[in-house]
Chains A and B, each alone.
Chain A
């Protein structure tokens, strides 16, 4: 349910950029979501449909690009994408890792007319 605020933020960002760019209709919006975040694309779509009514971005198609979890091994520095629930380093087998990627959440670009 925390997608409500995120969707507000999305719409505000898109409206601002549409105004700056002087476009009349937003057609597609690309959003990047890291695999570790708890944000559900379908919830964002659900709120977006209602919130975007009577705006320049009404009816725009939301395209989601999921970024994978990326880990850095604390022992050998190897950067890798783990398999499900197996987070140990494929290079040196150490299980101690830092999360490098997978927590992203941003609007990347839009197509407009």
Chain B
């Protein structure tokens, strides 16, 4: 019997592909944003509001990760310059996008004619936090009906976020969501992420989020 030391990260292959994706995006001066949330928190609504908010002068592409349908891609088709749907059904890693899937999607996009790519991840607060896709920014959306305890339950995804959107602000009077408790719980894990409370329904707060994102593009 012989003992053989290995010490090899099991995410190394994914991370290498992600680095390749990032280099490709950088060559095209294209900012990529990985948008993550639980199912139903409003990822597609945020994508639509973001495209509208950025306006016609910003050329936006969207990668839609979805388990089994093209519903979300159809919704954004009219708004975005380019939409690529990744159906993860049949792929074993169907609980999150991985770098290979994004690599394949980026190859189908006219990157030299895009300024920003919004990547709508699969609705899940656990698995997406493990996989670097090659994005420049990780954005997590929480919505008020989900309750304010999500950062305690899913610390990793909130610890790594570059921005946290709190959607469905219009429902705040009707649900048990303590804004202070939520922002403190995130801040305890993450010193840097700004908060954007907003409502995709009414449009309240969307301008602040879009202004922040636009600023990241200029820094890219």
> Which A positions have Cβ atoms within 8 angstroms of B?
1-2, 4-6, 9-10, 12-14, 17-18, 21, 23, 27, 31, 36-39, 74, 85, 87-88, 95-99, 103, 105-113
Residues of chain B contacted by A10 (CB below 8 angstroms): 10
Given A1-B94, A96-B187, A99-B155: A106 in contact with B130 (beta carbons within 8 A) = no
- Least CB separation from A18: chain B residue: B4
- B130 & A37 in contact (Cβ 8 Å cutoff): yes
CA distance A33 to B137 in the complex (A): 26
- A109 & B11 in contact (Cβ 8 Å cutoff): no
Residues of chain A contacted by B127 (CB below 8 angstroms): 1-2, 38
- B156 & A103 in contact (Cβ 8 Å cutoff): yes
> Which B positions have Cβ atoms within 8 angstroms of A?
1-14, 92-96, 98, 126-127, 129-131, 152, 155-156, 159, 184, 187-189, 191
Closest 4 CB pairs of A and B: A4-B92, A38-B126, A95-B188, A106-B9
B153 to chain A, nearest CB (A): 9
- Least CB separation from A103: chain B residue: B156
Given A2-B95, A36-B155: A113 in contact with B1 (beta carbons within 8 A) = yes
Residues of chain A contacted by B11 (CB below 8 angstroms): 6, 9, 105
Query: At the interface, is chain B mostly helix, strand, loop or mixed?
Result: mixed
- Least CB separation from A5: chain B residue: B93
- A36 & B156 in contact (Cβ 8 Å cutoff): yes
CA distance A22 to B1 in the complex (A): 12
- A1 & B93 in contact (Cβ 8 Å cutoff): yes
CA distance A103 to B25 in the complex (A): 27
7 other contacts beyond A99-B159, A105-B11, A111-B4, with CB at 8 A cut-off?
Answer: A1-B127, A9-B11, A9-B12, A9-B13, A17-B6, A38-B156, A110-B3
- B156 & A13 in contact (Cβ 8 Å cutoff): no
- B131 & A74 in contact (Cβ 8 Å cutoff): no
- B187 & A2 in contact (Cβ 8 Å cutoff): no
- Least CB separation from A21: chain B residue: B4
- B13 & A112 in contact (Cβ 8 Å cutoff): no
Given A1-B94, A2-B96: A106 in contact with B8 (beta carbons within 8 A) = yes
- B130 & A38 in contact (Cβ 8 Å cutoff): yes
- A109 & B6 in contact (Cβ 8 Å cutoff): yes
- B96 & A112 in contact (Cβ 8 Å cutoff): no
Residues of chain B contacted by A96 (CB below 8 angstroms): 187-188, 191
- A17 & B95 in contact (Cβ 8 Å cutoff): no
- Least CB separation from B11: chain A residue: A105
Partner of B130, one of A2, A31, A97: A2
> Can you list 27 A-B pairs with a CB-CB distance of less than 8 A?
A1-B95, A2-B92, A2-B130, A4-B92, A5-B92, A5-B93, A6-B11, A9-B13, A13-B6, A14-B6, A21-B2, A21-B4, A23-B2, A23-B4, A38-B129, A39-B130, A87-B155, A96-B191, A98-B159, A106-B7, A106-B8, A106-B10, A107-B7, A107-B10, A109-B4, A109-B5, A110-B4
- B6 & A2 in contact (Cβ 8 Å cutoff): no
Partner of B156, one of A1, A17, A99: A99
